[in-house]
Amino acid sequence: MSIAMVSLRRSKSGLWAARKVIPADVREAYGKREEKRTWPSELSQGQAKAELAAWITPIEEKIALLRAVHSVAPLTLTKRQARSIAGEWYKQKVAIFEDDPGDPFDWWSARDELAPDDPIEAEAGRIKPTGWLIRERDQILTEKGLRLTPVSSENLLQEMGELWVALCDLMERRAQGDYSPDPVAPTLPPPETPSPVVNAVAAPVVTVTGLFDEYARTGVAAQRTLKSWERVISSFVSHLGHDNALAVARADAHSWFDSLLAQGLSARTVRMTYRAALARVFRVAHDRGRLAHNPFARLEVIGPKAVETKRKELTDEEARTILKAALGPHSEGLSEPHARARRWVPWICAYTGARVNEITQLRAMDICQIDGVWSFFITPEAGSVKTRKARAVPIHSHLIDQGILKLAKADDPTPLFYNPAAARRGSSLYPMNQQMGTKLAAWVRELGVVGVQSPNHGWRHRFKSVARRVGMDPEARDALQGHAPKTEGQAYGSWPMEALRAELEKLPRYIV
């Protein structure tokens, strides 16, 4: 790689310095007019030249790849072409789900997922793009070998979103036994794929999605984290308009941050979720030598602080409302596991402070005696646990008095709060216990509990507040909720179950 056009010089302070002007044809895509770098003055000229070569090589590679990515004009789709491509996808989905559409509620939830937050957008019939839909679109384009303009890419996404809503309507009817003709299919144009734009330059070896896949295979991150980050990666690639990791500039990251903030996301969300995902993936790739530089290193997200309009914890009144409703009666149309979940999960969360999905995945065998103490055994063997560590939580005496032990069955792996026969409708990314948690949250909202950010997670915050109020040992409340010890010293040893039960019994009984 030639570096003849980059000169090495001494600055006034004695530092070695170099400057690389970015060529005009890729300057906008690169994100800056020039790159600058200095090195310590005590380096010899030979050492400084070696540092210069190492610095300029990835810059030249990036310039070359940017020229390759942008060398062919992207394709513009007509309305008919976009509808045709989306229509093929729609028909494939109908074929997949029509024979066994599952629960009508699931399709209602899936449709609502694309509802835009902006009422103007909703009135205009637009949908809110989600990560999975963006991935579906990108997969179609990859299979067809198409590269689209940003406008056409967005138009295709909207067509797919509109047809997804129609699919949810159709499957909801199918789930209720209505197999009348599909009113949408006859309106779709016949398959019509425009000629793909073939780039004569070889595709980049290092892709953003490929780096994410490599990171996922390390097993460092939990499945739930990967699920969240996968949507983040799709969002970034969609914003870029390409999947070339070597062509990513710091300006691309900042532009993405700005677009996320403009969509209404808080600076904290962008910082803790979106930036965190890309920074981690690129850092690992850089450390492993897959990338010569990390464009996300030490990037700051600048934006206004979020305005919190809802509480994080449930109030005394809200807690009593939920617990009283949990006692029943419940709708006769509910399945036995669903009715059991409404009856017990809120009460268990109230007396454990556990994550709702840790409770909805409990099996009959997970209510057991440990060291002579009746306990809930929360284990990754039953499903996802955020810390990936099993823990035992003593059962409060009020739950025992209510008859919770009747659910216990030694060596029985049957889930308590969802039907294992329906597990095929779940997935590794959205398993049945999480679906039950979503249904419980919707039910609580129907009870009029709307002032809390998350009705399920509100129990977790409330547990901590009540525990402080009654003087529960800080280490005990962290151990009960599965929070990491605050210090290295607190991580030593373990809590005897009898001692944990004594601390848990400090919680006053809920009188409803």
pLDDT digits (tens, 9 = 90+) for 352-368: 999 999 999 999 999 99
* Distance (Å, whole) CA 6 – CA 273: 38
pLDDT bucket at 429, cuts 50 / 70 / 90: low
Overall average pLDDT of the 141-163 stretch: 82
Q: Which residues contact 47 (CB under 8 A, 6 or more apart)?
A: none
Q: pLDDT tens-digit profile of 169-198?
A: 999 999 999 999 999 999 999 887 676 554
- Tell me the whole-structure pTM to 2 decimals: 0.53
Q: Which range has highest mean pLDDT (62-71, 115-124, 389-398)?
A: 389-398
Q: Which residues contact 279 (CB under 8 A, 6 or more apart)?
A: 294, 296, 297, 299
* Element (DSSP H or E) covering residue 391: strand 391-394
Check pLDDT > 90 for residue 434: no
pLDDT number for residue 199: 46
Q: pLDDT tens-digit profile of 67-76?
A: 655 555 578 8
Of the chain, the percentage scoring pLDDT greater than 90 comes to: 42
Q: Which range has highest mean pLDDT (145-149, 252-256, 268-272, 323-327)?
A: 323-327
Check pLDDT > 70 for residue 23: yes
Reference 477, options 462, 467, 466, 490; nearest CA is: 467
Other C-beta atoms lying within 10 Å of the C-beta of residue 257 = 22
pLDDT number for residue 200: 42
In the chain the first and final C-alpha atoms are separated, in Å, by 76
pLDDT number for residue 1: 31
Check pLDDT > 70 for residue 389: yes
Cβ burial of 151 (10 Å; 0-12, 13-18, 19+) is exposed
More confident residue, 145 or 226: 226
Other C-beta atoms lying within 10 Å of the C-beta of residue 374 = 19
DSSP string, 423-485: GGG--SSS-HHHHHHHHHHHHHHHTT--SBS-TTHHHHHHHHHHHHHTT--HHHHHHHHTPPP
Check pLDDT > 50 for residue 3: no
Overall average pLDDT of the 88-116 stretch: 86
**Residue 153, CA distances (Å) to 79, 242, 257, 358 in order:** 12, 12, 20, 39
Reference 98, options 5, 39, 184, 7; nearest CA is: 184
pLDDT number for residue 104: 86
Kindly list the strands in the beta sheet with 34-39, ordered across the sheet, starting from the edge strand earlier in the chain: 8-10, 16-21, 34-39
Distance of CA 90 to the CA centre of its chain: 25
pLDDT number for residue 140: 84
Q: pLDDT tens-digit profile of 205-222?
A: 688 988 998 888 887 887
pLDDT number for residue 174: 92
Q: pLDDT tens-digit profile of 275-321?
A: 999 999 999 988 887 887 788 988 888 877 766 667 889 999 999 99
* Distance (Å, whole) CA 251 – CA 28: 10
Tokens of 352: 């454990």
Please, are residues 313 and 452 in contact by the beta-carbon 8 Å criterion? Answer: yes
